[in-house]
Amino acid sequence: MKLAQRLNTIAEPQTIKMAKMSRELKAQGLDVVDLSLGEPDFATPGHITTAAVAAIDEGYTKYPPVAGFPELRKAICEKFKRDNQLEYTPEQVMVSTGAKQSLANVILCLVDNGDEVVIPTPYWVTYSDLVRLAGGTPVFVPGGIENDFKITPEQLEAAITPATRLFIFSSPCNPTGSVYNKEELAGLAAVFARHPQVTIVSDEIYEYINFIGRHESIAQFEGMQERTVIINGMSKGYAMTGWRLGYIAGPKELITACEKLQSQFTSGANSITQRATITALLSDNAPSMEMQQAYLERRDFVLEALRQIPGLKVNNPQGAFYVFPDISAYFGLSDGETTINNAQDLCIYLLHKGLVTTVQGDAFGDGNCLRLSYATSMENLQKAVDRMKESLGRLQPVAQLQ
pLDDT for res 129: 95
pLDDT in tens, 34-60: 999 889 999 999 999 999 999 999 999
Classify strands 199-203 and 164-170 as parallel, antiparallel or unpaired: parallel
CB 157 within 8 A of CB 190: no
pLDDT in tens, 73-116: 999 999 999 999 999 999 999 999 999 999 999 999 999 999 99
Mean pLDDT of the chain: 95
Looking at this protein, which amino acid is placed at residue 201? V
Taking 90 as the threshold, does the pLDDT of residue 20 lie above it?
Answer: no
**In this predicted model, which residue has the larger pLDDT, 21 or 146?**
146
343-354 and 14-27 helices, crossing angle to 10°: 20
Q: What is the mean pLDDT of residues 239-260?
A: 98
Q: What is the mean pLDDT of residues 183-200?
A: 98
Distance between CA atoms of residues 270 and 37, nearest Å: 23
343-354 and 378-393 helices, crossing angle to 10°: 110
pLDDT for res 17: 78
Q: What percentage of the chain carries pLDDT values higher than 70?
A: 99
Taking 70 as the threshold, does the pLDDT of residue 394 lie above it?
Answer: yes
pLDDT for res 399: 67
Q: Which residues lie below 8 Å from residue 65, measured CB to CB, with a gap of 6+? A: 268
Domain regions of the chain by residue span: 5-43+287-392, 60-283
Distance between CA atoms of residues 276 and 193, nearest Å: 39
Distance between CA atoms of residues 249 and 216, nearest Å: 15
CB 228 within 8 A of CB 218: yes
The band of 250, judged by pLDDT with boundaries at 50, 70 and 90, is very high
Task: Tell me the CB-side half-sphere exposure of residue 55, using CA atoms within 13 A.
Answer: 21
Q: By C-alpha distance, which of 377, 371, 391, 378 is closest to 37?
A: 371
pLDDT in tens, 310-363: 999 999 999 999 999 999 999 999 999 999 999 999 999 999 999 999 999 999
Distance between CA atoms of residues 280 and 247, nearest Å: 14
Taking 80 as the threshold, does the pLDDT of residue 64 lie above it?
Answer: yes
Q: By C-alpha distance, which of 77, 161, 160, 167 is closest to 121?
A: 167
**In this predicted model, which residue has the larger pLDDT, 24 or 198?**
198
Distance between CA atoms of residues 382 and 371, nearest Å: 17
**In this predicted model, which residue has the larger pLDDT, 321 or 11?**
321
Torsion of CA 42, 208, 242, 70, to 10 degrees: 140
**Among 20-24, 62-66, 217-221, 332-336, the least confident range:** 20-24
Q: Which residues lie below 8 Å from residue 72, measured CB to CB, with a gap of 6+? A: 95, 274, 275, 277, 278, 281
Question: Which CATH number describes the domain made up of 60-283?
Answer: 3.40.640.10
Q: In the 3-class helix/strand/coil scheme, how is the chain assigned residue by residue?
A: CCCCHHHHHCCCCHHHHHHHHHHHHHHCCCCCEECCCCCCCCCCCHHHHHHHHHHHHCCCCCCCCCCCCHHHHHHHHHHHHHHHCCCCCHHHEEEECCHHHHHHHHHHHHCCCCCEEEEEECCCCHHHHHHHHCCCEEEEEECCHHHCCCCCHHHHHHHCCCCEEEEEEECCCCCCCCCCCHHHHHHHHHHHCCCCCCEEEEECCCCCCECCCCCCCHHHCCCCHHHEEEEEECCCCCCCHHHCCEEEECCHHHHHHHHHHHHCCCCCCCHHHHHHHHHHHHCCCHHHHHHHHHHHHHHHHHHHHHCCCCCCECCCCCECCEECCECHHHCCEECCCCECCCHHHHHHHHHHHHCEECEEHHHHCCCCEEEEECCCCHHHHHHHHHHHHHHHHCCEEHHHHC
Q: What is the mean pLDDT of residues 130-134?
A: 96
Q: What percentage of the chain carries pLDDT values higher than 90?
A: 91
pLDDT in tens, 210-219: 999 889 999 9
Topology annotation, domain 5-43+287-392: Aspartate Aminotransferase, domain 1 (3.90.1150)
Classify strands 359-360 and 322-323 as parallel, antiparallel or unpaired: unpaired
